[in-house]
Amino acid sequence: MTLNRTLSIAKRIVKQIVKDHRSLAMIFVAPLLVMALVGSNFSKSQETLNFIGPALICTFVLFFTFMITGISFLRERSEGTLDRLLTTPVSRADIIFGYSLSFFVFALIQSTIILLFSISVLDITYIGSLWQMFVVVIMLAIVAVNLGVFVSTFAKNEFQVIQFIPLIMAPQIFLSGVIQPVEKLPSVLQNVSKILPLTYGIDSLRSIMIQGSDLYALINEILILFCFGCVFILLAAVSIKR
């Protein structure tokens, strides 16, 4: 893998996404609309919003990042751009990391919008450090980017990418502590929640925002999220065939 080739691929993808108005709307407008809707529903229940806020932030970061990554990567495949790259001397690692890096740029922007909108406009209170909250959100965004790239390698069109969303998101929403604490789930489902990245994102962000924990106390959760990201990007690399 060479840095120049990776950056060249990433730069090209960034330029393409910037020219796509639909993708830009998904990145900038969609998260604001959804978070505004959430805020209006809990306008008279600020205490409830403060508790579920970290879970919603993590869920929306995972959802929007996964969707924009999956659709954008599929578009590269359907237009033949990826196939042309695979016929060149560029390594598979250059391709995967180049795509992931470009998608992460927009995932970072999108995650920042969701987090800042939540605490500034929705007025979700937090005790811990803001930069440590960003670290958790960024780690989850990395997982979502790599997961989106991996899953999209199995889709033939955008409709199939959309079909993957409930398969990916439904278990995470119901089993990762979004609706109710994981501790209240049956023991079997608690074990299932341990293999879902959203579980560790919610636990980490909730600990920082509500309990005032720091990253040192959450090092295990952060490392697990890092491992998820590594596994998904390796699976994506293996799934792409020359």
pLDDT tens digits for 19-46?
888 888 888 888 889 888 888 888 778 8
Q: Are 106 and 192 in contact (CB under 8 A)?
A: no
Question: What pLDDT is attached to residue 237?
Answer: 82
Question: What pLDDT is attached to residue 145?
Answer: 92
Closest CA to 170 of 188, 192, 155: 192
Question: What pLDDT is attached to residue 241?
Answer: 60
The dihedral over CA atoms of 218, 223, 225, 230, expressed in degrees to the nearest 10, equals: 170
Residues of the chain whose pLDDT is less than 50? Answer: 242
Q: How many CB atoms lie within 10 A of CB 133?
A: 21
CA–CA distance, 126 with 136 (Å, rounded to integer): 14
Question: What pLDDT is attached to residue 20?
Answer: 81
Structural domain range at position 173: 3-239
| pLDDT tens string 117-151 | 999 988 899 998 999 999 999 999 999 999 988 88
Tally of structural domains, the chain: 1
CA–CA distance, 77 with 82 (Å, rounded to integer): 5
* DSSP string for 56-91: HHHHHHHHHHHHHHHHHHHHHHHTTHHHHHHTSS--
Task: Decide: residue 224, CB within 10 A, 0-12 exposed, 13-18 middle, 19+ buried.
Answer: buried
Q: Are 53 and 209 in contact (CB under 8 A)?
A: yes
